[in-house]
Amino acid sequence: MNIEANVKELKVIVFQLKNEEYGVSVEQVRSIERIQHITRVPGTADFVKGVINLRGVVTPIIDLRSRFGIEEIQYSDSSRVIIVAINEVNVGLIVDAANDVIDIPIDEIEPTPEVVGSVETSYIHGVAKIDKRLLIILNLDKVLNADELNEVENIEAKM
């Protein structure tokens, strides 16, 4: 995540997984969609739920609960797919709910503590305390490693 020195705030989309709130930079978010039919793709990692046809574009879908080792749940009316760009690859992230968009002052973002819930700390850019909320800022470039990103990018070949 490139945070320019002269930028005073980071604008993030806030979403929920289990009882935690997470944020991703709006610069990487393309859209937020309702859950739609996901076509399974054999031979992919467990957290890759399959693909959707999003306005004519085949888009791989990842369940963030599964990716982060959080117990999976049935999708609900509040479940959303956040379409993000990770190294120029569009990927859908299934989340429990997408709450709002907020600006976080850069100096309010603290380095990742040693233990933050159950999410591997390499996925985390930092943590911000907003009012009484604790917001985990994700580093999307680390959520998928190079091999996984390559697999997701070439998912159409497996179909």
14-63 pLDDT per residue, tens: 999 998 999 999 999 999 999 999 999 988 888 999 999 999 999 999 99
Domain chopping of the chain, boundaries: 9-158
* Average pLDDT rounded to a whole number, residues 135-143: 89
pLDDT score at 26: 96
Which residues lie across from 10 on neighbouring strands?
A: 104
Cα separation, 102 vs 86, whole angstroms? 21
Predicted confidence at residue 136, as pLDDT, reads 92
Residue 89: per-residue pLDDT: 87
57-106 per-position pLDDT tens digit: 999 999 999 998 899 899 999 999 999 998 888 999 999 999 899 999 99
pLDDT at 5: 52
CATH code for the structural domain at 9-158? 2.40.50.180
Long-range contacts from 6-11, C-beta under 8 angstroms, 24+ separation? 7/106, 8/105, 8/106, 9/103, 9/104, 9/105, 9/106, 10/103, 10/104, 10/106, 10/109, 10/137, 11/101, 11/102, 11/103, 11/104
